[in-house]
């Protein structure tokens, strides 16, 4: 249904704070005037919050303050009133045990920041992995008009004539050191080569995936995802987005108008086409829960099955985000999906029009970076959702990052009870393991390793690596970095820490993985499985207080997005129990 803009002018929510002569209006307005704002700025024009995840400790977003200046310029030009607001910045490369533990906290803080303050519209300035979903989730729960501007990826890394992809090279090189193919000195030399400019990870890791998801959902202007962080066109995008949000407020174009089921279907298919991160599964499930759209794990499997991975980027392929931008970026991918009948062309975007209008004229400038379907990296690139007695509520695997010869595999389980057990034994030459085995890691799900750490792509045993083997089947309830690769079964649900079947796998059990049949099976009888589960008790510590306890008590399973049970849904923009 075409979007019907609201009538303008009308009274905006910021006028509850600024638009009158009461004592409270003077209190709200007068204090802001100490920043030198003239009185006519409070005349009813849209107040736009630039929610900025800049932080010195979130280096991927380290350039967002400069970008915010361009957003402000756009807002002023369009007749809005910009106010920059720092918000919780969950940095992927500093937060422990994992930034994912703080995604929901950041989302909650953003939601309350927006609702509690005189914000009519928001520009979500994001980039690093968790900053994008957390701000989108918070905005979705207020349903205040919002637009996403990502910081853009770093320029290509180069080391000794080879591309160095953020994260991906780190995993490769650390395995090379264990296999004796690289020295520690060379590893240190490569460090700066990986991160040579401002921006997010330059692979199709989680940051680039989530930027692509925001664009495919229609929450960012077309072309936003791939522009490098230091390219002048990134600043142009910021300014245009600043202009656009003002009109979105006037039209009352809200997240719930944009993030419909059709938009989520487009995003899920896009993830398959770009070879996107498995992390997108948990983030989009959580986001859908915020806007009240029914999206399930099965939608991921159903919609992604026929989507070929055509974007030739690490970790699935060869190139990096800079080259994806030069090739035409996400609009080319969306156009391809549209031509293949895999895009809901009428889905509305923040532009105010259908997505197809934005992408139908896109041109592919490099057919090795964005390949034709008959030269796809993987014919069936969507996330595979596996089920079976080992994962009754599902588990996921990324086919484009897996090895073809392991997609059907039966092997002996080698079990690690938790990450400490894995770290203690993986380097032991006496560990009874070879490349035909299935590595099983327990207690790394949302509750088990609070936040569901990215340890699912556990490194192979050195004695296997030394044989030149680079992949084995690995199964866990953990996540995996979007920059990582391998035949890795993730997000197994229910997780071990709550007594899912993963908790009772024993070393020596046989496990069958059959990706084409979407099956993950522990080869023991139903009776044996029931007996083991009946005898199981949790070994995970329950936090005594603080945020860790809130997290433990309320986080849901990976199969529904690992959101907090009490944060699902949209609570709107109305201030509760307003005392003014
Ligand atoms: Fe921040 Fe990759 S670690 S974008």
pLDDT of residue 578: 61
| Smallest CA separation from ligand 1 atom 2, residue | 201
Give the CB-side neighbour count of residue 139, counting CA atoms within 13 A.
Answer: 33
Residues 445-455: tens digit of each pLDDT: 999 999 999 99
Rounded Cα distance, 487 and 489, in Å: 7
Q: Which atom of ligand 1 is nearest to the CA of 129?
A: 4
Instruction: Give 92 Cα–ligand 1 centroid separation in angstroms.
Output: 6
Cβ atoms of 454 and 480 within 8 Å: the answer is yes
pLDDT of residue 178: 83
Positive or negative, the CA dihedral 385, 389, 390, 391 is positive
Q: Which atom of ligand 1 is nearest to the CA of 207?
A: 4
Rounded Cα distance, 492 and 490, in Å: 5
**Per the structure block, which two tokens stand in for 422?**
């894995």
Among the listed residues 48, 144, 137, 128, the one whose alpha carbon sits nearest the alpha carbon of residue 95 = 128
- Structural element, H or E, at residue 122: strand 121-126
Q: Which atom of ligand 1 is nearest to the CA of 205?
A: 2
| Predicted TM-score (pTM) above 0.85 | yes
Q: Which atom of ligand 1 is nearest to the CA of 61?
A: 1
pLDDT of residue 580: 58
pLDDT of residue 445: 97
The response to whether residue 205 sits with its C-beta less than 6 Å from ligand 1 reads yes
Instruction: Give 137 Cα–ligand 1 centroid separation in angstroms.
Output: 19
| Smallest CA separation from ligand 1 atom 1, residue | 128
CA distances from 294 to 142, 261, 287, 488, 523 (A): 18, 7, 10, 27, 34
CB within 8 A of 107, min separation 6: which ones?
133, 134, 135, 137, 138, 141, 290, 567
Residue to mutate, 129, 213, 313, ligand 1, most ligand atoms under 8 Å from C-beta = 129
Instruction: Give 33 Cα–ligand 1 centroid separation in angstroms.
Output: 37
The response to whether residue 129 sits with its C-beta less than 6 Å from ligand 1 reads yes
Domain ranges within the chain, ordered by starting residue = 46-155+197-375, 158-194, 384-544+550-559
Residue entry with tokens 């007695």: 389
- Structural element, H or E, at residue 228: none
Instruction: Give 270 Cα–ligand 1 centroid separation in angstroms.
Output: 20
Kindly give the parts of the chain with pLDDT less than 50.
Answer: none
The CATH number of the structural domain formed by 46-155+197-375 is 3.40.50.2300
The response to whether residue 93 sits with its C-beta less than 6 Å from ligand 1 reads yes
pLDDT of residue 169: 82
Residue to mutate, 92, 199, 212, ligand 1, most ligand atoms under 8 Å from C-beta = 92
Q: Is 182 exposed, middle or buried (0-12, 13-18, 19+ CB in 10 A)?
A: middle
The response to whether residue 200 sits with its C-beta less than 6 Å from ligand 1 reads yes
Assign a CATH topology to domain 384-544+550-559. Answer: Glucose Oxidase; domain 1 (3.50.30)
CA 191-197-199 angle, 5° bins:
105
Strand partners, 302: none
Residues 192-229: tens digit of each pLDDT: 888 999 999 999 999 999 999 999 999 999 999 999 99
The response to whether residue 92 sits with its C-beta less than 6 Å from ligand 1 reads yes
């Amino acid at each position: 249904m075409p979007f019907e803009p609201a009538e303008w002018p009308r009274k905006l929510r910021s006028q509850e704070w600024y638009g009158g002569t009461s004592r409270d209006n003077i209190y709200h307005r007068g204090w802001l005037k100490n920043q030198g704002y003239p009185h006519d700025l409070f005349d009813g024009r849209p107040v736009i919050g630039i929610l900025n995840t800049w932080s010195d400790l979130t280096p991927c977003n380290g350039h967002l303050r400069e970008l915010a200046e361009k957003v402000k310029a756009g807002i002023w030009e369009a007749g809005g009133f910009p106010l920059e607001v720092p918000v919780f910045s969950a940095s992927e490369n500093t937060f422990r045990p994992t930034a994912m533990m703080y995604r929901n906290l950041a989302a909650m803080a953003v939601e309350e920041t927006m609702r509690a303050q005189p914000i009519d519209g928001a520009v979500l300035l994001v980039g690093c992995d968790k900053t994008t979903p957390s701000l989108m989730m918070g905005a979705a729960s207020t349903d205040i008009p919002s637009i996403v501007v990502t910081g853009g990826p770093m320029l290509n890394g180069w080391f000794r004539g080879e591309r160095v992809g953020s994260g991906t090279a780190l995993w490769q090189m650390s395995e090379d050191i264990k296999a004796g193919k690289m020295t520690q000195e060379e590893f240190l030399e490569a460090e700066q080569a990986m991160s040579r400019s401002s921006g997010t990870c330059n692979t199709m890791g989680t940051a680039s995936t989530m930027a692509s998801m925001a664009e495919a959902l229609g929450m960012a202007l077309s072309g936003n995802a791939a522009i490098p962080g230091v390219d002048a066109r990134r600043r142009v995008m910021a300014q245009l987005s600043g202009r656009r949000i003002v009109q979105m407020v006037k039209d009352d174009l809200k997240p719930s108008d944009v993030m419909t089921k059709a938009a989520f279907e487009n995003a899920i298919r896009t993830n398959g086409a770009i070879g996107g991160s498995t992390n997108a599964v948990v983030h989009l499930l959580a986001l859908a829960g915020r806007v009240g759209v029914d999206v399930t794990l099965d939608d991921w499997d159903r919609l992604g099955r026929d989507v070929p991975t055509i974007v030739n980027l690490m970790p699935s392929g060869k190139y990096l985000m800079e080259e994806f931008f030069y090739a035409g970026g996400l609009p080319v991918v969306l156009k391809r999906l549209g031509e293949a009948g895999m895009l809901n062309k009428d889905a509305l975007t923040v532009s105010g029009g259908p997505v197809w209008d934005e992408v139908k004229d896109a041109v592919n400038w490099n057919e090795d970076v964005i390949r034709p379907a008959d030269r796809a990296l993987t014919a069936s690139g969507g996330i595979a959702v596996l089920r079976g007695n080992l994962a009754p509520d599902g588990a996921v695997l990324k086919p484009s990052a897996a090895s073809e010869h392991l997609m059907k595999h039966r092997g002996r389980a080698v079990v690690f009870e938790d990450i400490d057990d894995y770290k203690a034994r993986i380097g032991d030459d006496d560990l009874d393991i070879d490349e035909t085995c299935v590595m099983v890691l327990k207690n790394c799900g949302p509750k088990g390793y609070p936040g569901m750490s990215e340890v699912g792509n556990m490194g192979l045993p050195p004695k296997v690596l030394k044989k030149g083997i680079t992949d084995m089947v690995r199964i866990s309830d953990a996540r995996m970095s979007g920059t990582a690769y391998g035949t890795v079964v993730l997000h197994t649900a229910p997780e071990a820490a709550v007594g899912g079947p993963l908790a009772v796998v024993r070393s020596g059990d046989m496990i069958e993985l059959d990706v084409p049949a979407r099956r993950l099976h522990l080869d023991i009888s139903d009776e044996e499985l029931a007996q083991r589960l009946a005898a199981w008790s949790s070994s995970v510590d329950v936090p005594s207080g603080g945020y860790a306890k809130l997290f433990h008590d309320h986080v849901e399973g990976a199969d529904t997005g690992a959101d907090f049970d009490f944060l699902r849904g949209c609570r709107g923009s109305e201030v509760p129990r307003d005392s003014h």
